[in-house]
């Protein structure tokens, strides 16, 4: 993939595998709800899935800097004749009926391109590499012009979602919305940082930000709890692969200076989280897999927790542990932490993968979260990709 216009338009030069027939569409009449800066669900509404996250360094629930991907109709102002639609998946946290889709879509140029309508939909999943499959329900939303606002679609007569099943949220345009020129901004959870041996540099992978809400079924309502065992995590099992990270996406390099692939080059990675509770962490999990186990057998890596240095990535080291990088896919490197300080709820931290002098021969890849998946449609077929945020869990 190549990115132009600050990562806005994605050009693809791949052989596209034809998508299987989707069966009968269950489209519902479009229903619009005005955008709002805050969406406060009532006590009975639950979140089926989402990646909105409040970053203590920002006032936004998503990354307000130029990020994410274009959502445009063919009559857009920036690249007329180009259609680009986006999609992001979720695993339903409960069974029940959805009634609202919230996204971080913002108009690109509201003065010159005022068309502000978009179609937000729920699709079933066709498994990698096909992405969205069968349309379940749609709603029309108004795209705001101001950063940090939200685009909200009310949906009516939606079918029930099934707990543990994978679905997709899509942003598309109809013929009446063909002049839309907007950007779907990235989740704060899509942040990452890298270090080539001379300091941390913060970046973003660009997974579109969203939230899916509705009412849980009676059978599953009692099982939903705000409490979580982990302090922070972006790992969950994808029903298509049975793996709690994305084995189809290329990982990020984690290498010491004596690695086999690029000797002399160091490459470390980091991913942030906002602590869900206060307490002392004991373990870090990360899908770090050796690139060439037989040729480059060094398999030790250092997993650490750092404070946050707003906009600059990791700040001060808090605690470290040594882990063993794995050989087989879907296994995890696990570091036990000793004498760790207490983490504080709602404070931002970073998990890092680095090497010591004794680990300088490491040559491995840190694989991506399933939550980093997205899909792209240039007016023809959906194709699934990954924005590549490293997967992790802190317990």
SS (H, E, C) 10-68: EECCCCCCCCCCCCCCCCCCCCCECCECCCCCCCCEEEEEECCCCCCCCCCCECCCCCC
- Distance (Å, whole) CA 298 – CA 295: 9
170: phi then psi, degrees, rounded to nearest 5: -120, 150
Statement to judge: residues 220 and 259 lie in one domain: no
Tokens matching residue 22: 């989707």
* C-alpha closest to that of 365 among 393, 386, 334, 391: 391
Q: Do 42 and 173 fall within a single domain?
A: yes
Co-location of 210 and 259 in the same domain: no
Domain residues for 31? 2-192+205-224+373-379
Confidence (pLDDT) at 201: 77
Let me know whether 21 and 167 are in one domain.
yes
pLDDT of 45 reads 66
Please state, in angstroms and as integers, the Cα–Cα distance from residue 161 to each residue in 91, 92, 123, following that order. 10, 7, 11
Record the pTM.
0.82
Cα–Cα distances (Å) from 160 to 40, 69, 103, 216, 320, in that order, read 22, 29, 21, 9, 44
116 in the same domain as 15: yes
Q: pLDDT at position 17, please?
A: 25
Q: Say what the pLDDT of residue 180 is.
A: 96
Split into its structural domains, the chain has a count of 2
Q: Which residues sit opposite 300 in a β-bridge?
A: 324
294: left (phi over 0), alpha (psi -120 to 50) or beta: alpha
Residue 239: inside a domain: no
Contact (CB, 8 A) for 68 and 183: yes
- The answer to whether residues 187 and 328 belong to one domain is no
List strands edge to edge, sheet with 181-184: 69-72, 181-184, 105-107
Domain check: are 99 and 181 in the same one?
yes
Closest to 309 (Cα-Cα) out of 354, 255, 270, 251: 270
Q: Are residues 277 and 187 in the same domain?
A: no
Same domain as 78, residue 174: yes
If asked whether residues 42 and 87 sit together in one domain, one would say: yes
pLDDT of residue 148: 85
Same domain, 213 and 268: no
* Cα R_g (the chain), whole angstroms: 21
d(CA 177, CA 286): 42
CB-based contact 192:271 (threshold 8 Å): yes
Helix (H, G, I), strand (E, B) or coil at 371: helix
Note the pLDDT of residue 44: 54
User: What is d(CA 149, CA 147) in angstroms, rounded to the nearest whole number?
Assistant: 6
pLDDT averaged per 10 residues in sequence order, the chain, 395 residues: 39 26 30 38 67 81 81 94 92 89 92 94 92 94 91 93 92 95 88 82 74 69 50 86 85 92 92 89 93 89 94 92 91 93 92 95 91 83 77 78
């Amino acid at each position: 993939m190549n990115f132009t216009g600050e990562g806005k338009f994605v050009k693809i030069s791949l052989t596209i595998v034809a998508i299987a027939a989707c069966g009968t569409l269950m489209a519902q009449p479009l229903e619009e709800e005005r955008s709002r800066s805050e969406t406060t669900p009532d006590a009975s509404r639950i979140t089926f899935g989402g990646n909105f996250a409040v970053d203590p360094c920002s006032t936004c629930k998503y990354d307000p800097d130029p990020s994410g991907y274009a959502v445009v109709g063919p009559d857009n102002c920036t690249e007329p004749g180009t259609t680009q639609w986006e999609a992001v998946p979720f695993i339903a946290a409960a069974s029940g009926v959805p009634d609202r889709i919230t996204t971080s879509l913002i108009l690109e140029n509201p003065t010159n391109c005022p068309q502000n309508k978009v179609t937000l939909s729920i699709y079933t999943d066709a498994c990698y590499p096909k992405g969205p499959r069968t349309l379940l329900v749609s709603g029309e939303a108004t795209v705001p012009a101001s950063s940090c606002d939200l685009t909200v679609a009310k949906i009516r007569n939606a079918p029930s979602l099934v707990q543990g099943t994978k679905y997709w949220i899509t942003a598309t345009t109809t013929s009446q919305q063909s002049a839309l020129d907007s950007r779907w901004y990235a989740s704060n959870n899509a942040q990452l940082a890298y270090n080539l041996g001379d300091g941390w540099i913060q970046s973003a992978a660009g997974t579109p930000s969203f939230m899916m809400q509705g009412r849980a079924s009676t059978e599953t309502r009692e099982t939903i709890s705000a409490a979580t065992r982990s302090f922070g995590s972006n790992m969950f099992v994808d029903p298509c692969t049975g793996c709690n990270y994305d084995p189809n996406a290329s990982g990020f390099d984690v290498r010491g200076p004596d690695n086999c692939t690029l000797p002399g080059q160091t490459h470390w990675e980091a991913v942030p989280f906002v602590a869900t509770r206060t307490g002392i962490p004991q373990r870090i999990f990360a899908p770090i897999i050796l690139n060439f186990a037989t040729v480059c057998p060094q398999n030790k890596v250092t997993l650490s927790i750092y404070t946050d240095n707003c906009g600059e990535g990791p700040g001060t080291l808090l605690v470290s542990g040594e882990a063993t990088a794995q050989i087989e896919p879907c296994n995890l490197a696990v570091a036990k932490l000793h004498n760790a300080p207490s983490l504080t709820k709602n404070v931002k931290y970073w998990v890092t993968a680095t090497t010591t002098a004794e680990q300088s021969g490491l040559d491995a890849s840190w694989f991506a979260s399933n939550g980093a998946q997205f899909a792209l449609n240039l007016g023809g077929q959906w194709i699934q990709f990954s924005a590549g945020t490293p997967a992790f869990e802190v317990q």
